Amino acid sequence: MASGALFVRLTVAAASLGALLLAARLSPDDGRTLDATMHHLGDDRTPDWKEAPEEPTAPPLEIPFESAANAGEWLLEVSARDVDNQWALALNGVEFARLRPTNDELRVGRYPVPPGLVKAGRNVLAVRAVDQPKDDITVGRIVLHERSLRELAQLGRVEVTVLDAETKQPIPARITVVDAAGAPLELFYAERPLAAVRPGIAYTGDGVATLEIPAGACTLWASRGMEWSAAKVEHVVVFGETSKVELSIRREVDTRGWVAADTHVHTLTYSGHGDASVEERLVTLAGEGIELAIATDHNHQTDYRPLQRALALNAWFTPVVGNEVTTDNGHMNAFPFDPSAPVPESKVTDWKALVAGIRAKGAKVVILNHPRWPEGGKDPLTNFGFDESTGLNAAGQEFTFDCIELVNSDCPTAPTNLVLPMWYALLERGLRFTAVGASDSHAVGVVVGQGRTYVPSATDDPTKLDVDAACEAFKRGEVSVSLGMFATIEVDGHRMGESFTPRGDEVEAVVTVRHPSWVTPRTLEIVVDRTSAATVRLDEPATGDTPTLQVRRVRLKLASDANWIVAVARGDKVSAPFWPMSVPETMAITNPVFVTR
């Protein structure tokens, strides 16, 4: 992205710093209603939106009003629904804010009006589409307050620093702020180039953040993904005063020789839904400790590198250009691509031809995404007549992708337990599809990298990762699936993706489960050829265990026709506000060690 585009985004953000949603506690104020009506702007009928007419009106919406001039900052409240794309607010022809994304909810946004923008006499407020005039929204119920947001919301300033406890240096992180009841607090005047801010959330790309918070008691958390501890502090915010908070976190999970990858990442900028701009996505990737970041916008090849340089985030991760090739019968993530090359054809219905077309555009890895989504029997496997007992499908589709997404942390309607039987069935047929984990995050509040894949690496320096070697590790099945925990398995000394011939009918599986102190593991299951061969407890300490690591040695008796061995660790769902989960449990899944005779 050009630096000029970055400047425009930052200028608009600076003008809309306090534009947040309903929860702010405003003091009484006699705001003037400029327009009590809800309007439907766009080009499609929307019978489900009852607050506005079904039939649309073409933008812009213009609302004239009389006023005195504003010598100081004032505040504008605007209700809106289904804001997916960019809509500008302008006064007298001058843009001062953009409507906050609202998805399909009707919400109130609050937007500071800079001093001098309201003139004495007649004014015109306009709501206009920036570059997506076909987006349909409802907008209206506009109220102008002749006081500042700081006065109305009784804000106090909190200057937060997040430090690496070992180096004592600031580090990218997520800051989470909740009230005394645990509800997210709105954060005002916090947006800047190295920030991604939503109610209760402020990601920082450099370890520092200045937040303005409604006065009262709150709790602040600092976190950085599943390899790091989480820190919290109770704090009282005082209206009109500035306070400082310092939070230290430390690396708790030893991942030397491995790097954290998220193979399924989106932006509003290029996927067209969700709420994370591409700039915000880069900040969240750094803040959650993702080291190999695969950009997979829908049918688009996004190159993070120019903007990563502009934001000085190069030190934290290696970006890879990918593409979620989005079809009517399934989605496939693929990488790497040349960002300037044509995107793969997405209208192909035959999967073998689809994958061949993807590879012809340069991709080395092709992943079948969320294979049991959409729910309700509409997923591609059900449409193909997939049989989990045989691994065959009635449609005769040939599966030639490399990997299957077992963990998708933003797909609660198709949890991992629905996908595992499909993977097991394919393994039983002798098809070696690598299991991967990913977040599928489209939004700032959906934790990017919550689902992730650990990839072996010759270096732990996230700026020097060998993308080609990582692709080969995916294809060989040497990677491990993570959702709050990270597991590896060795069977008689042989690792994931390797094959071996047992010397007898018994083998020893050694499984290592790593996790942060805020994740509680419960069980470890060893699966041999779809059958649970052993289950051991992880919440009962064994010799050598630590608060963040368990090692279990399990003797297995193998049948003469055994083909593969997998380990599955399960743990409690995290309830802390800094790592909100939409799936029911934490997990780690190894890829198989294969048995030959």
* Residues 6 or more apart in contact with residue 312 via CB below 8 angstroms: none
Between CA 85 and CA 94 the distance in angstroms is: 19
Using alpha carbons only, how large is the chain's radius of gyration in Å? 26
User: What is the pLDDT, as a whole number, of residue 17?
Assistant: 37
DSSP label of 341: S
Residue 338: pLDDT over 90: yes
On the question of a cis peptide bond just before residue 342, with omega within 30 degrees of 0, the verdict is no
User: What is the pLDDT, as a whole number, of residue 9?
Assistant: 32
Q: Which CATH architecture has domain 486-597?
A: Sandwich (2.60)
- Domain residues of the chain, as ranges? 3-151, 154-249, 252-483, 486-597
Between CA 209 and CA 332 the distance in angstroms is: 37
Contact 122, 64 (CB under 8 A): yes
Q: Is the backbone of residue 112 left (phi > 0), alpha (psi -120 to 50) or beta? A: beta
Closest to 296 (Cα-Cα) out of 357, 337, 352? 337
* Residue 5 banded pLDDT, cuts 50, 70, 90: very low
Looking at 84-88, 294-298, 537-541, 558-562, which range is the least confident one? 84-88
User: What is the pLDDT, as a whole number, of residue 104?
Assistant: 76
Contact 519, 226 (CB under 8 A): yes
Average pLDDT over residues 550-568: 96
HSE at residue 363, side-chain half, CA atoms within 13 A, is 31
* Residues 6 or more apart in contact with residue 334 via CB below 8 angstroms: 322, 323, 325, 344, 358, 363, 365, 366, 367
User: What is the pLDDT, as a whole number, of residue 3?
Assistant: 32
Name 294's bridge partners. 320
Taking only the tens place, the pLDDT of each residue in 211-223 is 999 999 999 999 9
CATH topology of domain 252-483: TIM Barrel (3.20.20)
113 CB burial (10 A radius; 0-12, 13-18, 19+): buried
Average pLDDT over residues 380-384: 95
Rounded to a whole number, what is the distance in angstroms from the first to the last CA of the chain? 54
Between CA 387 and CA 425 the distance in angstroms is: 8
Taking only the tens place, the pLDDT of each residue in 410-429 is 999 889 999 999 999 999 99
Percent of the chain with pLDDT over 70: 94
User: What is the pLDDT, as a whole number, of residue 6?
Assistant: 33
Amino acid at 88: A
User: What is the pLDDT, as a whole number, of residue 29?
Assistant: 56
Closest to 477 (Cα-Cα) out of 388, 418, 403? 403
Q: Where are the alpha helices (DSSP H) in 75-198?
A: 149-153
H/E element, 558: none
Amino acid at 118: V
* Two structure tokens written together for 200: 């209760």
Alpha carbon 175 to its chain centroid, in Å, reads: 15
Closest to 75 (Cα-Cα) out of 2, 137, 20, 7? 20
User: What is the pLDDT, as a whole number, of residue 48?
Assistant: 87
* Residue 102 banded pLDDT, cuts 50, 70, 90: confident
Amino acid at 430: G
Between CA 4 and CA 86 the distance in angstroms is: 17
* pTM metric for this prediction: 0.90
HSE at residue 145, side-chain half, CA atoms within 13 A, is 20
Shared fold status for 154-249 and 486-597: yes
Average pLDDT over residues 359-369: 98
Between CA 261 and CA 591 the distance in angstroms is: 15
HSE at residue 19, side-chain half, CA atoms within 13 A, is 24
Closest to 513 (Cα-Cα) out of 486, 546, 543? 486
Between CA 243 and CA 246 the distance in angstroms is: 10
Dihedral angle of Cα 209, 210, 211, 217, to the nearest 10 degrees: 90
Residue with tokens 């649970």: 532
Q: Which CATH architecture has domain 154-249?
A: Sandwich (2.60)
Q: What are phi and psi of 467, to 5 degrees?
A: -65, -40
User: What is the pLDDT, as a whole number, of residue 291?
Assistant: 98
Contact 487, 278 (CB under 8 A): no
User: What is the pLDDT, as a whole number, of residue 68?
Assistant: 97
* Residue 578 banded pLDDT, cuts 50, 70, 90: very high
Taking only the tens place, the pLDDT of each residue in 270-324 is 998 888 999 999 999 999 999 999 999 999 999 999 999 999 999 999 999 999 9
- Biggest CA–CA distance in the chain, Å, is 92
Between CA 464 and CA 459 the distance in angstroms is: 7
Residue 468: pLDDT over 80: yes
Percent of the chain with pLDDT over 90: 88
Average pLDDT over residues 143-166: 96
Average pLDDT over residues 318-332: 97
Average pLDDT, the chain: 93
Dihedral angle of Cα 313, 319, 321, 327, to the nearest 10 degrees: -100
Between CA 440 and CA 112 the distance in angstroms is: 33
Residue 373: pLDDT over 50: yes
Q: Does domain 3-151 have CATH number 2.60.40.1080?
A: no
Name 62's bridge partners. 126
* Residue 536 banded pLDDT, cuts 50, 70, 90: very high
Taking only the tens place, the pLDDT of each residue in 498-509 is 999 999 999 999
Taking only the tens place, the pLDDT of each residue in 15-54 is 333 333 333 444 445 699 999 999 999 989 988 889 999 9
Q: Where are the alpha helices (DSSP H) in 392-440?
A: 416-428
Residue 488: pLDDT over 60: yes
User: What is the pLDDT, as a whole number, of residue 383?
Assistant: 95
Closest to 479 (Cα-Cα) out of 512, 529, 435, 515? 435
User: What is the pLDDT, as a whole number, of residue 406?
Assistant: 98
* Residue 133 banded pLDDT, cuts 50, 70, 90: low
Which pairs from 101-106 meet CB under 8 Å and 24+ separation? Answer: 101/268, 101/274, 101/275, 103/275, 105/81, 106/51, 106/79, 106/80, 106/81, 106/138
Q: Is the backbone of residue 503 left (phi > 0), alpha (psi -120 to 50) or beta? A: alpha
Between CA 302 and CA 337 the distance in angstroms is: 9
* Two structure tokens written together for 410: 């933003």
Higher pLDDT, 524 or 375: 524
Contact 436, 406 (CB under 8 A): yes
